[in-house]
């Protein structure tokens, strides 16, 4: 019995200890994730005493100290964990990029490098990927320390393919190039020709140098931005074998093995090696590997590929060459896709223990380092829901938002950390930075004190803050003292080295000391920027050879660094050592033969030596590679003894025009007289174009002076400009220069009678398919009179020019001029266009010349489809939003789905169009729009498109040129659209959706948008043309009123029950929704007062005013009294019916002769309006003279008024229906007579007694 009791006691002690350890571990995680770090450390430390919980506690301490090193060194805990864990590899991989292997503490850094060395030298065959990663890190460490031989050995052990021939670059704006077909797949031969995105013929070429770390980096060889590029190599295998192809990339990626597509990843990622893994078969002999990498938002373009066994060990016996070899194309086969290293390990752990925070954290870390942002966000959101205030979880979100360029998410997360964990070092940093931005130096200093309290006064970050604060306080003495202290304590810190050398070189003028500082730093640090600084000190002090030697050493250390060659070539050029400069430029060209700027630099250098023929050849090569190199165009013309292109145009004598300017009395109805307005455009053979614009105007009176004292040069976001002249020309010929700030011009000392003169050049730099296209429009009539207006195009003979006037043709004078054809349109003594009431917009009445080299509207449609369609790919936020919007058990039709998505977007996303936030052409990523909850028309339309794709709805974009910009404006193909909407095809019908209004119901449009010019963007081969927006499926804009009117002596009491449908509902909702009850009544009283001056509001209520649910219809119940509206004349009581929308003479202010059409939609914002008015006749009274019924109709509108008596009540029904909005000028007089009849009917009086 005693032994049993003893055993039981011992068992209880063990159980109690285990439970206590478990409690400590659980409390440690809980405390860590609610930001109680001191308690977390205590609990984790206690949990170390349990053998079962010890390893997890070590990981807890690792994560705890990672951002809080004042609590301990994370690497120390992690190293201990790795020594105790049997299989540490997944955990090492998960935290590889977390920062635990980096430390500012030299001793810890030495230990971490030793750890990596042991891993790189491990004989464990299961660690193939980790060993490669370790060698990669080790190679970088050696490179940074200038141990290049050791670095080369480490990089070689990665086992990457490193012999490549490359070709490019091809168009990838907005990721449009990923799914296109390229000849590179079919043509591996070295002499194969391809046409790149600039129209130049390019070939495969083998770069002479590559990055030493085995990542093949296209950024050295191409203009990689918005480009698809290719690489190929031929891998010799001693036998047929099954292996794994493993790849890492920056960008999107496709890989073909023996012409069989084996990897296709459209998402642009920045990940590490062995992320895209596929089982493949290598043939015996040579195997062709073809790689496609695309960049449009990744910011980089590179890849690394290995062939490995199942454990990630590089396959031995393979060798690769860049030169073309005979290979056997693969028969179609389905290879097995292998998950990224250790993703499955933690995915399985999360599935088996779904509430375990550690496994979720490690899985999120792996997803982040693999750039699988959708998956990472999903895991982090789960953590966030459980630990909403955790700074560690928020740190994962910061990484995510940084990777996705989500500024809103980044800033909101920073604010959350500041609010929820103000004592954390990150929060202190955020507070400090915010104070600095606000120039709150005292507040910033207080936060620096808090940071110092955590890390000590000699911490590097603390010292940086103190130096910064001294600078802000303009305390140079203190700043120098702190900088020198910092350098003494941390001589390897780059910032402190820079401070020290600047102090010595710039302040103390002690170049010898500055050189010593930089040389000491560069002895153990591979830093090109600091090396250039050292070279510059040598140059400044006259030691040219020493400075050049620095550059030559940098080239030796980094032979692929093409920018070093061009920098040194420029220095040699300044020294007039042309042979050396040429040698370096030709080496740069051997590395990047299709970089136009290097050929241009070489051409200039050759020209400086008088080698004219060679310079001409290089300039021609430049223009083949970049048709928009206007410097090359200009210099080439000089070398070929061709005249300046603008000399082909007729010169204009400004001074003569000013002297001959008519007096103001000749233009009594105008404020300004345009003496000359001209555009001179040049279109070069390669499609590049430049323009010169001239404006000379005379100020006729003070109104003209107010309107013209400021002027803005019209420059689009794809153009560069030079303001050549901007001045006031006085009547005596003297000139006063204007003040110019970028494109804004202010004419100072401007007086009535003066002339203003502006002349500027534009250089077009359109991208993508538009790079070699030209389009423009020019007004030959407008709101000012002019003496002379002219437009000229000097077009290369190979450029087909299309032109068309919107109103009246002006025949061009065509002149053959050398390699060009000159078109010249001119008009003189044009009077100003005088405003007429409700006339169409300027583009519909002015005589506008449209010119373009764009062949048809299909070109524009395909161009924008490429630009926008890839953006619509559903991302994490989109998928989550669709899940929420379409959640529920009931099966929805596609139309119902579309309406739910429409309501979600218009209720949650605010319309905003601000240039600095948005591109003029390319939509934002839908995820960014969802995160920021703000976007312009193309942004919200693309968001809808993305959500529609996720929901399986057939949807497309539609470009719009709104009616207020002119329905006649789009006479020739151009990109001059100002709006974007969506078209869907659901349940067998086409519907168009306007997504920029938070109030407009589904499938509705305002009258101002109906009949706008539209262009389908559907990605089909069907020929496109301009259509006009008026879909049969749109909701009719209508107003229905049921009104009862009672007579109280001289007053009318009116009760209206109104129903507004579609756009009219949106107008009223927008006007009243966000007002208080009192303000609604005030607003309605003001509206009533405009129709009935003596009206007094008695009651007002709305139904369905809320901006939710079914927004189609809005109900209004209103009562008001109109005082003294019943007149007594000769014993008769006389009144007019109080129609709510009564026609009045002031509706149209028409004068004749009428020159322009009349736009009825500027008055009426509905399709139809009906009002039934029941008049209650007072007891004892009878009608003496009633209002007669009438029916009126013409091709523009229908009007009817019916009368029906019912005892003591009379029911009047009034209906107005619009049929056509535009009345031609010739028919305006007839329309006026027609409308007078409506006015008469609406204002008829009835009499009773």
Whether residue 952 contacts residue 974, with contact meaning beta carbons closer than 8 Å, is answered with no
Nearest-CA neighbor of 330 among 382, 385, 278?
278
> Per-residue b/e over 69-86, b at no fewer than 16 CB within 10 Å?
bebebbbbbbbbbbeebe
> C-alpha angle 540/546/551, rounded to 5°?
95
The gap from C-alpha 83 to its chain's centroid, in whole angstroms, comes to: 48
Whether residue 738 contacts residue 754, with contact meaning beta carbons closer than 8 Å, is answered with no
The secondary element (H helix, E strand) that includes residue 20 is helix 2-33
Q: What is the mean pLDDT of each run of 10 residues along the chain (1249 residues)?
A: 46 44 89 97 97 96 92 95 96 95 88 97 95 98 97 98 97 92 97 96 98 98 97 98 98 98 95 97 98 96 98 97 97 85 94 95 97 92 97 97 89 96 97 96 97 95 97 96 97 96 96 97 97 97 97 97 98 97 98 98 97 98 96 97 96 95 96 98 96 98 96 94 97 94 96 98 93 96 96 97 97 96 97 96 96 97 90 86 86 95 93 59 87 89 96 96 92 95 96 95 94 95 96 97 96 97 96 96 96 95 88 96 93 94 95 96 95 94 94 98 92 97 97 98 94
Nearest-CA neighbor of 848 among 674, 959, 965?
965
Whether residue 944 contacts residue 984, with contact meaning beta carbons closer than 8 Å, is answered with no
CA 652 – CA 824 distance, rounded (Å): 14
CA 1030 – CA 1013 distance, rounded (Å): 10
Whether residue 1004 contacts residue 1037, with contact meaning beta carbons closer than 8 Å, is answered with yes
What is the DSSP code string of 171-205? E-GGGTTTT---GGGT--STT--EE-TTS-EE--B
CA 1119 – CA 1136 distance, rounded (Å): 18
Whether residue 164 contacts residue 142, with contact meaning beta carbons closer than 8 Å, is answered with no
CA 74 – CA 76 distance, rounded (Å): 5
> Three-state DSSP class for 157?
coil
In this prediction the pTM is: 0.90
Counting residues of the chain whose pLDDT is more than 70, the rounded percentage is 98
Tokens of 303: 């890849």
Q: Domains of the chain, with CATH numbers?
A: 159-341 (2.60.120), 422-583+592-639 (1.25.40.10), 645-853 (2.60.40.3140), 858-1028 (3.10.620.30), 1038-1248 (2.60.120.1130)
> C-alpha angle 1237/1241/1245, rounded to 5°?
140
> Three-state DSSP class for 1025?
coil
Which residues, in sequence order, are CB contacts of 1036 under 8 Å at separation 6+? 1061, 1062, 1167, 1168
pLDDT of residue 334: 79
Whether residue 878 contacts residue 930, with contact meaning beta carbons closer than 8 Å, is answered with yes
> Which is it for strands 1038-1048 and 1168-1176: parallel, antiparallel or unpaired?
parallel
pLDDT of residue 1110: 79
Tokens of 948: 């529609």
Instruction: Give the up-direction half-sphere exposure of residue 825: CA atoms within 13 A in the CB hemisphere.
Output: 21
Q: How far apart are the first and last CA of the chain?
A: 120
The secondary element (H helix, E strand) that includes residue 56 is helix 54-66
pLDDT of residue 1131: 85
Counting residues of the chain whose pLDDT is more than 90, the rounded percentage is 90
Nearest-CA neighbor of 479 among 463, 492, 491?
463
For 812, phi and psi rounded to 5 degrees? -80, 150
Strand partners, 674: 697, 786
CA 29 – CA 56 distance, rounded (Å): 10
pLDDT of residue 927: 86
Nearest-CA neighbor of 585 among 576, 212, 600?
600
CA 968 – CA 971 distance, rounded (Å): 6
pLDDT of residue 1246: 94
For 14, phi and psi rounded to 5 degrees? -65, -45
Nearest-CA neighbor of 697 among 847, 832, 808, 791?
832
Residue with tokens 């830093």: 527
Chain segment 1029-1057, per-residue pLDDT in tens: 999 999 999 999 999 999 999 999 999 99
């Amino acid at each position: 019995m005693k032994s049993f009791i003893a055993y039981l006691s011992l068992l209880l002690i063990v159980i109690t200890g285990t439970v206590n350890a478990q409690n400590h571990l659980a409390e440690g995680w809980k405390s860590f994730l609610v930001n109680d770090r001191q308690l977390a450390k205590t609990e984790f430390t206690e949990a170390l005493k349990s053998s079962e919980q010890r390893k997890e506690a070590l990981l807890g301490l690792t994560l705890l100290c990672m951002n809080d090193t004042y609590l301990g060194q994370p690497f120390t805990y992690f190293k201990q964990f790795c020594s105790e864990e049997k299989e540490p590899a997944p955990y090492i991989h998960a935290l590889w990029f977390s920062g635990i292997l980096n430390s500012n503490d030299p001793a810890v850094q030495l230990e971490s490098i030793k750890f990596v060395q042991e891993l790189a030298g491990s004989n464990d065959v299961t660690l193939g990927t980790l060993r490669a990663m370790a060698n990669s890190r080790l190679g970088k460490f050696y490179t940074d320390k200038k141990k290049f031989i050791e670095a080369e050995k480490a990089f070689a052990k990665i086992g990457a393919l490193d012999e490549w021939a490359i070709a490019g670059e091809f168009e990838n704006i907005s990721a449009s190039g990923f799914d296109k077909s390229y000849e590179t797949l079919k043509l591996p031969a070295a002499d194969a020709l391809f046409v790149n995105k600039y129209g130049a013929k390019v070939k495969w070429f083998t770069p002479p140098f590559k990055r030493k770390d085995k990542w093949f980096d296209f950024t050295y060889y191409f203009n990689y931005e918005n480009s698809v590029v290719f690489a190929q190599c031929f891998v010799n295998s001693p036998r047929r074998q099954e292996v794994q192809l493993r790849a890492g990339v920056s960008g999107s990626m496709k890989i073909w093995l023996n012409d069989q597509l084996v990897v296709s990843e459209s998402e642009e990622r920045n990940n590490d090696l062995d992320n895209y893994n596929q089982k493949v078969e290598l043939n015996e002999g040579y195997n062709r590997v073809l790689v496609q990498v695309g960049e449009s938002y990744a910011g980089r373009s590179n890849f690394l590929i290995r062939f490995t066994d199942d454990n990630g060990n590089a396959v031995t016996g393979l060798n690769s060459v860049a030169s073309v070899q005979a290979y056997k194309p693969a028969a179609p086969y389905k290879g097995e896709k292998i998950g990224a290293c250790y993703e499955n390990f933690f995915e399985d752990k999360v599935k088996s223990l779904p509430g375990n925070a550690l496994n979720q954290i490690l899985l999120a870390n792996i997803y982040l380092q693999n750039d699988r942002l959708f998956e990472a966000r999903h895991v982090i959101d789960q953590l966030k829901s459980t630990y909403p205030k955790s700074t560690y979880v928020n740190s994962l979100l910061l990484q995510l938002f940084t990777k996705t360029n989500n500024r809103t998410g980044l800033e909101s997360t920073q604010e959350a950390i500041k609010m929820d964990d103000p004592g954390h070092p990150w929060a202190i940093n955020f507070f400090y930075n915010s104070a600095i931005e606000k120039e709150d130096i005292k507040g910033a200093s207080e936060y620096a004190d808090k940071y110092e309290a955590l890390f000590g006064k000699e911490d590097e970050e603390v010292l940086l803050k103190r130096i910064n604060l001294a600078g802000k306080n303009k305390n140079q003495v203190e700043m120098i003292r702190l900088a020198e202290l910092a350098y003494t304590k941390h001589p390897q810190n780059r910032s402190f080295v820079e401070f020290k050398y600047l102090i010595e070189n710039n302040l103390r003028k002690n170049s010898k000391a500055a050189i010593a500082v930089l040389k000491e730093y560069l002895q153990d640090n591979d830093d090109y920027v600091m090396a250039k600084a050292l070279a510059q000190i040598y140059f400044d002090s006259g030691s040219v050879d020493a400075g050049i030697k620095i550059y030559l050493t940098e080239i030796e250390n980094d032979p692929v660094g093409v920018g070093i060659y061009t920098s040194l070539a420029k220095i040699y050029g300044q020294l007039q050592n042309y042979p050396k400069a040429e040698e370096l430029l030709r080496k740069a060209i051997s590395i990047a033969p299709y970089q136009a700027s290097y050929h241009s630099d070489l051409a200039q250098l050759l020209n400086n030596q008088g080698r004219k023929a060679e310079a001409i050849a290089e300039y021609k090569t430049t223009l083949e590679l970049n048709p928009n190199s206007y410097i090359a165009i200009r210099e080439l013309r000089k070398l070929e003894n061709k005249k300046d292109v603008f000399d082909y145009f007729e010169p204009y004598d400004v001074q003569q025009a000013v002297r001959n300017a008519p007096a103001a009395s000749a233009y009594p109805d105008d404020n300004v007289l345009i003496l000359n307005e001209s555009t001179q455009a040049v279109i070069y053979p390669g499609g590049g174009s430049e323009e010169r614009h001239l404006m000379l105007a005379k100020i006729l009176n003070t109104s003209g002076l107010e309107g013209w004292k400021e002027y803005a040069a019209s420059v689009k976001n794809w153009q560069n400009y030079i303001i050549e002249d901007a001045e006031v020309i006085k009547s005596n010929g003297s000139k006063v220069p204007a003040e110019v700030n970028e494109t804004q011009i202010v004419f100072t000392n401007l007086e009535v009678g003066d002339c203003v003169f502006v002349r500027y050049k534009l250089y077009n730099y359109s991208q993508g398919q538009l790079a070699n296209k030209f389009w423009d429009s020019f007004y030959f009539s407008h709101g000012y009179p002019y003496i002379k207006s002219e437009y000229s195009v000097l077009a290369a003979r190979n450029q087909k020019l299309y032109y068309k006037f919107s109103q009246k043709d002006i025949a061009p004078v065509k002149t053959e001029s050398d390699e060009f054809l000159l078109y010249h349109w001119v008009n003189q003594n044009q009077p100003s266009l005088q405003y007429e009431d409700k006339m169409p917009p300027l583009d519909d009445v002015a005589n506008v010349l449209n010119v373009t080299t764009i062949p048809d509207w299909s070109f524009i449609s395909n161009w924008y489809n490429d630009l926008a369609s890839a953006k619509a790919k559903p991302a994490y936020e989109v998928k989550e939003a669709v899940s929420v919007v379409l959640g529920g058990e009931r099966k929805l039709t596609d139309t119902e789905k579309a309406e739910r998505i429409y309501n979600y977007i218009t209720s949650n996303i605010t319309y905003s169009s601000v240039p600095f936030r948005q591109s003029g052409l390319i939509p934002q990523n839908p995820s960014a729009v969802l995160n920021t909850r703000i976007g312009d028309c193309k942004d919200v339309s693309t968001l809808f498109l993305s959500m529609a794709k996720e929901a399986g709805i057939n949807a497309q974009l539609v470009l719009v040129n709104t009616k207020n910009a002119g329905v006649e404006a789009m006479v020739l193909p151009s990109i001059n659209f100002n709006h974007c909407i969506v078209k869907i095809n659901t349940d067998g019908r086409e519907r168009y959706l306007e997504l920029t209004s938070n109030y407009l119901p589904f499938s509705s449009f305002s009258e101002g948008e109906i009949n706008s010019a539209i262009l389908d963007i559907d990605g089909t081969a069907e020929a496109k043309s301009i259509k006009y927006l008026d879909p049969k499926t749109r909701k009719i804009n209508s107003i229905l009123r049921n009104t009862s009117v009672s007579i109280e002596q001289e007053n009318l009491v009116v009760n209206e029950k109104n129903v507004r449908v579609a756009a009219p509902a949106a107008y009223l909702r927008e006007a009243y929704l966000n007002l208080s009850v009192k303000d609604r009544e005030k607003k309605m009283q003001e509206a009533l007062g405009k129709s009935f001056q003596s009206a007094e509001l008695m009651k007002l209520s709305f139904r369905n005013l809320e901006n939710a649910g079914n927004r189609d219809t809005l109900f209004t119940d209103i009562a008001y009294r109109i005082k003294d509206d019943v007149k007594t004349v000769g014993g008769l009581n006389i009144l007019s019916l109080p129609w709510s929308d009564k026609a009045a003479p002031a509706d149209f202010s028409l004068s004749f002769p009428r020159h322009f059409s009349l736009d009825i939609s500027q008055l009426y914002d509905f399709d139809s309006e009906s009002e039934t008015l029941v008049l209650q006749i007072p007891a004892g009274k009878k009608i003496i003279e009633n209002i007669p019924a009438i029916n009126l109709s013409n091709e523009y509108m229908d009007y009817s008024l019916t009368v029906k008596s019912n005892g003591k009540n009379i029911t009047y029904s009034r209906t107005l229906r619009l049929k056509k909005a535009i009345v031609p000028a010739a028919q305006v007089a007839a329309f006026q007579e027609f409308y007078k009849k409506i006015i008469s009917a609406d204002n008829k009086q009835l009499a009773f007694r």
